[in-house]
Every structure is written in C-alpha cells, then in structure tokens.
Amino acid sequence: MTYSDTETLLFEASDNGVLTMTLNRPEKKNAANHVMWDELLETFRQVKHDADVRVFVITGASDAFCSGADLGGGGPARHQLASMRHIHDIAIGLHELPMPTIAKVNGVAAGAGCNMALGCDLIVASDRARFSEIFSRRGLSVDFGGTWLLPRLIGVHKAKELAFFADVIDAATAERFGIVNHVVAHDELDAFVADWAARLAAGPPIALAQTKAMLNKSLTMTMDEALDNEGWAQTVNFSTKDTREAINAFLEKRDPEFKGR
C-alpha cells in the first residue's frame, strides 16, 4: 500500500518495511482535532492489514509529540458519548496493530497524546520530552485508554498519582516510573529509533505479531491459558517458511531473511 500525506498526518515509508507517521499540526503542538482523529482511524485500519509494514513509528512535527485533544478544534455536531466512542475506536485501532509500534517522543506528550504514546509497544523519548495525564486540570477524566494502560505499566498507585495531580514529568522521571523504555539525547533520537525499527523490521513478522498479541492479553489470563496460547503460537510458527529459514540460517551461520510467510 502507499501512504499519502493528509491534512494532519505525514508519512515516510522506508525500503525495510518501517512506516513513520508524523502528527502534523505544529502550530497547536500537534493537538488532535476532528480531522486528525478521522485520519488516525483510517490510517490504523489501513496499516492493520498491510503486510508490507513491519514496524510502525509515531512521532510529532517540530518540537512536540502531541499535546492532546484540541478542545477548541470544532468538528461535526454529535453527542459527547458518540465522540468518545470515536476515540475508543481510534485507541483500539492503535492497540490492535499486529506489528511492533514505537512512539518517538520528541517533546510534550499530554492527555490523549500521552496515552497515544503509552499505547505503542515501545517508547523512546528525547531528553526534552515531557509527559502529563493533563485531564484533571481541564475538569476531565483520563481517556484514550489511559485507565487501562497506566496501571499495567506502572502499577495502580503510581497511575493514580499521575492521573489525580496531572503533573508534568520530564523524560528522566518517566523512565524512572517505567513509562518509557529509553531516554536519549534529543539529537540522537532519530538515529536510535531508526536502529530499533530496523532491527524489528528484520525480525520474523508472524512470530513477533503472535508474541505481541499474547503479551497484550497476558494480564487477563491464567498461566494455563498463557501456556495454551504459546503452544498454538509455536505450532503456527513451525508451519511457516520463516521458522525454517531461521533454523537453516543458524545451522549455516548466517543471518536469516524473514519474509513474513
């Protein structure tokens, strides 16, 4: 598939299967208006079924990742519950992407923007990045999956601390809390994420997708259920050409070339 730039999103596809999506409303610190929400949903639906995308990277234009929802952004007249169901579909769309996802957080990530980053499988933050569950400062409750994501990442008590006080925390604090995987110097952010993305893109797509799905479900199942899922996943893997390629490459002392089949 090809990905053309839209009103609020920019796309860059690499030859190795890495698709980078840039939230592009820099004048609003990439706050999501109704146009961006619609375009995000359509993008996630398209990427989900694109076998050529091995890794999906999300970042923001200029000096911000995403400052959350644009509360003054207008949009179609609809009941608030209908609007939140739309947000639900977008958050689920990101969560259900089968390939590894990386949030490249180059600046502020607040509110829904913070939880969009948390919804990715991996988060790499610039040392200039800042995070905030800003909702309570706006008289709002946490949304975009934050009530599900935060406790799983950092525990219920720390999640309540971030949600209740809505403090802005720097990248080092986010790393200490366990919100981000790595913090790197701002000038090294692009290179670090490019390296991670390339390594993931070179991996076995079917096996990685199954591992991701099992880990996402792991906290809601028993050990017995997890082992059963692992058994089915490995059965699928051993039926693929990729697993045979990996075994042959090991025996021949070379790097495997995975094709996703």
| pLDDT of res. 80 | 87
Segments forming the whole domain that contains residue 104: 9-201
- Specify the number of domains making up the chain: 2
| pLDDT of res. 129 | 98
Residue 58 lies in a domain: yes
> Do 69 and 158 fall within a single domain?
yes
pTM of the model: 0.96
Return the HEC string of 191-251.
HHHHHHHHHHHCCCHHHHHHHHHHHHHHHHCCHHHHHHHHHHHHHHHHCCHHHHHHHHHHH
| Six token digits for residue 29 | 């610190």
> Do 112 and 214 fall within a single domain?
no
> Do 157 and 214 fall within a single domain?
no
Give the pLDDT confidence of 126-168 residue by residue, as tens digits: 999 999 999 999 999 999 999 999 999 999 999 999 999 999 9
> Do 166 and 225 fall within a single domain?
no
Q: What is the mean pLDDT of residues 170-183?
A: 98
Cβ distance 127 to 172 under 8 Å?
A: yes
| pLDDT of res. 74 | 67
Has residue 77 got a pLDDT over 80? no
> Do 138 and 197 fall within a single domain?
yes
